[in-house]
Amino acid sequence: MLHDFIAAYTPANLRYLFGGLGLTLLVSVVSILASFVLGSFMGIVRYVRIKGLSAIVGGIIDVIRNLPLILILFFTYFGLPNLGIRPGVLVAVILAMTIFESAMLAEIVRSGIQAIDKGQMEGARANGLSYWQALWHIVLPQAMVKMIPALVSQFISLVKDTSLATIILLPEMLYRSQIIYGQDSNYIVPMFVAVAALYFAVCFLLSILAHWLERRQART
Amino acid sequence: MIAIIHDYGGLLLVGLRQTLICSLIALAASLLLGTVVALLEVAPERWLRGIARTYIEIFRNIPLLVITLFFYVVVPLYVIKLNGFVAGTIGLSLYTSAFIAETIRSGIRAVDPGQMEGARANGLSYWQAMRVIVLPQAFRYVIPPLGNQFVNLVKNSSTLAFVGGFDLMYQGNNIASDSMATMATYAVIGLLYLAITLPISSYMRYLEKRLA
């Protein structure tokens, strides 16, 4: 058993696996940044109740949130070519993650804004700011700070969810581990241990960060 | 879309059935496991709390797909051969139980400590008081978040497609490649998922509003 581990963890294999982890993190970071922009926009639109538009955006958010990510992944990779758009694997994955995660973040943003004391808005309006000025300069900055722990939690699920991209052969960490143990079935256990440990290390550290941020906020 | 339903209705029904069966089994199993782990997490004994924390951190921080593939690929090598449906359902149950444990624990913490003290003062043991007095009240607080966990569970059951679990996503994939009508197929599959998840999440939103 131990001998299998030593045989499996060659520098070349480990380098290959870590490359996959790099891709996992790259996909996650790009997707969370894009989702943050798109999700904030959708969350604000849903919150401010613009006639018609808010209802449509709300409906889109609810539909996306209630669909499996794998379905959205298949949609961007296998479905979009039917409409004449042919994204590569990496683009299809980032697109699917961004669509899915924006809907999640939109709800976080909306409830974050709702949690801010109504007096903040009233005070700002009373001091002569317009509704949008008050929302942008007074309410949103406070809501964003409160949302940071939830954002980190979403980032953790994003990192875990990138493993689903194995199914459309994105060479991320899980996919690469399958390539390695495909060469020798004695490597199955060492590869599972390595992949689980690496995902765990990344996600656990992030969850400690989220927890620490939450506690720091509770104090202030 | 109508053509897809007409031509592949049988496969879609099988998929819907497998998704529902897997979700219900995993719901029951993860509720049970999650409650046990939550109880251990608030136990007076330190080592019990340690076991519960370790369990939660492991299953929360490893992707569901890795856990499922472990039962599909690794367990058959050393223990027992599992088909995709069983491996997927076990993986889903363990993964979800960690989230449910966290939810129920927060419910237990939300119950006034006076309830436990009062029950103990009236002669109940710690575990009796927990079971009869605290836990029933805790469950009332956590119904909306538990419902949301169930929605996640139904969505996550689509990982069965990776291990040949014949669920909705798996059938959808096969129908899409057989009919070449990928968009129409995914639309039908999406509507079927929404038919399960949307009613639950809107009911939970209603409950949340009513409780607040």
For A132-163, the pLDDT digits (tens) are: 999 999 999 999 888 888 899 999 999 999 99
Separation of alpha carbons B205 and B22, rounded Å: 24
**pLDDT class of B4 with cuts at 50, 70, 90:** confident
Domain locations along chain B: 19-166
For an interface test with B, give the residue of A24, A71, A164 to mutate (most B CBs within 10 A): A71
- Does the beta-carbon distance from B158 to A68 stay under 8 Å? yes
pLDDT at A81 (0 to 100): 86
Separation of alpha carbons B2 and B9, rounded Å: 10
Smallest Cβ–Cβ distance between A70 and the set B151, B161, B198 belongs to B161
Chain B, residues 63-122, CB within 8 A of chain A, namely: 63-66, 69-70, 73-74, 77
The candidate with the shortest Cα–Cα distance to B141, out of B60, B40, B38, is B38
pLDDT at B201 (0 to 100): 92
Q: Nearest 5°: CA angle at B174, between A59 and B176?
A: 50
The candidate with the shortest Cα–Cα distance to A135, out of A36, A38, A47, is A47
For the residues of B103-168, what is the DSSP string, one character each?
A: HHHHHHHHS-HHHHHHHHHTT--HHHHIIIIIHHHHHHHHHHHHHHHHHHHHHHGGGGGGGT---H
All residues of chain A having their beta carbon less than 8 Å from the beta carbon of residue B202 are 62
- Does the beta-carbon distance from A66 to B58 stay under 8 Å? no
Superfamily of domain B19-166, CATH level 4 = MetI-like (1.10.3720.10)
pLDDT tens, residue by residue, A113-125: 998 888 999 999 9
Closest-CA distance of chain A to residue B33, Å: 21
Question: Tokens for B102?
Answer: 């966290």
Separation of alpha carbons A17 and A193, rounded Å: 12
| Mean pLDDT across B42-69 | 94
Separation of alpha carbons A150 and A25, rounded Å: 18
| Mean pLDDT across B82-102 | 95
pLDDT at B180 (0 to 100): 86
pLDDT at A216 (0 to 100): 85
Q: Which CATH class is domain A2-219?
A: mainly alpha
pLDDT tens, residue by residue, B164-201: 889 999 999 999 989 888 899 999 999 999 999 999 99
pLDDT at A220 (0 to 100): 66
pLDDT at B46 (0 to 100): 94
pLDDT at A31 (0 to 100): 95
Q: Which parts of chain A sit beneath pLDDT 70? A: 220
pLDDT at A214 (0 to 100): 84
Rounded to two decimals, what is the model's pTM?
Answer: 0.92
pLDDT at A51 (0 to 100): 86
